[in-house]
Amino acid sequence: MSEQKQPNIINYFQQYKQSIQNAFKILEDVDFELPEEELKQKVPKQIEDQKQSIEPKFISQADTKRALENIDKLICQLQLVTPLYSDPKYLNFESNDRTKRQTQMKHQQMWDQIKLQQKERFAKFQDQEILERILELDSQLKEDYEYNFQFSSGTQKKTIQIKYHDVLKLNPPNYLNDGIINFYLKFIEFELLDESLRSKTYIFNTYFVEKLCLFDKLQTIQQNDNHRINELFKQSYEHIKRWVKEDLTEKEYLLFPINLPEHWSLLIAHKQSKSFQDSVIIYLDSFGIIDQKLVTIIKMYLHKMQCDKIQSDINYNDSPIKQIPAYQLLVPRQVNYVDCGAFLLEYAESFLSDPNYLLSDFESPEGIYKLKLFPRTLVNKKRLLMKQLLIELVELGKEQALINYKQRRQEIIQSCYINEDEYDKIDQDLFKEFLNQKNSISVNTDQQRSMLLDFYMNPQQNYYEQ
Q: What is the pLDDT of residues 72-101, one digit of tens each?
A: 555 554 444 333 333 333 223 333 445 445
Q: φ, ψ for residue 351 (rounded to 5)? A: -60, -50
Task: Tell me how far CA of residue 275 lies from CA of 250, 279, 309, in angstroms.
Answer: 9, 8, 10
- Percent of the chain at pLDDT above 90? 39
Band of residue 330 on the pLDDT scale cut at 50, 70, 90:
confident
Q: Please tell me the distance from the alpha carbon of residue 382 to that of residue 413, in angstroms, as a whole number.
A: 12
Q: In what order do the strands lie in the sheet with 253-260?
A: 201-203, 253-260, 263-271, 279-284, 326-328
Q: Among 301-315, 363-377, 430-444, which stretch is predicted with the lowest mean pLDDT? A: 430-444
Note if the pTM is more than 0.85: no
* Alpha helix segments (H runs only) across 195-225: 195-198, 206-213, 215-218
- At a CB cut-off of 8 Å and minimum separation 6, what does 365 contact? 445, 448, 449
Q: Quick one: what percent of the chain has pLDDT higher than 70?
A: 63
Instruction: Give the integer Cα–Cα distance in Å for 354 and 373.
Output: 9
pLDDT in tens, 289-323: 777 889 999 999 999 999 988 888 889 989 999 99
CB 328 within 8 A of CB 87: yes
> Higher model confidence: residue 108 or residue 179?
179
**Preceding amide of 173 cis, omega within 30:** yes
